[in-house]
Chain A
Amino acid sequence: DIQMTQSPSSLSASVGDRVTITCRSSQSIGTYLNWYQQNPGKAPKLLLYAASSLQSGVPSRFSGSGSGTDFTLTINSLQPEDFVTYYCQQTYSTSLTFGGGAKVEI
């Protein structure tokens, strides 16, 4: 299995801040990397796919970059609704795996 490691697992920030979450894979996955946002008690929501492509309807303050084994999710100008949990996911192999999650707290 390809292991996905997110860091930090939690972080504190303020409204208007810029935050970066990192996701590292245990082997090269090209750009087969997706990012999800999950509100408590809700299903995850796709934010970005193919490492840097913004899903339709997702605000442009969300961006992604990276390829190979190292990826980042950046949120510019944090809004109150952004203080939730984020997951990365690799879809390079036929056994998909998620990162452990990163919780953004006020």
Chain B
Amino acid sequence: QVQLQESGPGLVKPSQTLSLTCTVSGGSISSGSYYWSWIRQPAGKGLEWIGRVYTTGRTNYNPSLKSRVTISLDTSKNQFSLNLSSVTAADTAVYYCARAEYTYGELGIWGQGTMVTVSS
């Protein structure tokens, strides 16, 4: 059974780059037809889709974050990563990684989430 686990710093200073990794276990990140995705949720608020990377490395990003976001695959480690640059307090949130099916894009498998606070 495929499982996802986020990891990375829980505290990032303003203007710096937030970097998170999602480790995939129970299956290969480079096999099948899936989108590997990042979603975030500020405390007490709704879900915001950040972006995704397809098995081939092709990416799609939320237009409101596109200038600051990079999502990439590391097939050698069976991981994918999120980099969000020039962070502010507004980027404080729980960050989730998830796997989406190719056909309808539904997010069927999620990580447990990791809290990231942006503060000096």
Residue numbers of A with Cβ under 8 A of B are: 1, 32, 34, 36, 38, 42-46, 49-50, 55, 87, 89, 91, 94-101
Contact = CB atoms under 8 A, between A and B. Distances in A.
A96 B46 contact: no
Contact of B108 (A1, A46, A87, A95): A46
Contacts of B52: 96
Given A1-B63, A32-B104, A36-B107, A98 B49 contact: yes
Nearest to B103: A50
A44 B110 contact: yes
Contacts of A94: 60
A51 to B, nearest CB: 9
Main SS of chain A's interface residues? loop
A50 B106 CA distance: 8
Contacts of B111: 43
Interface residues of B, number: 23
Contacts of A49: 101, 104, 106, 108
Nearest to B61: A95
Contact of A87 (B46, B63, B96): B46
B15 to A, nearest CB: 26
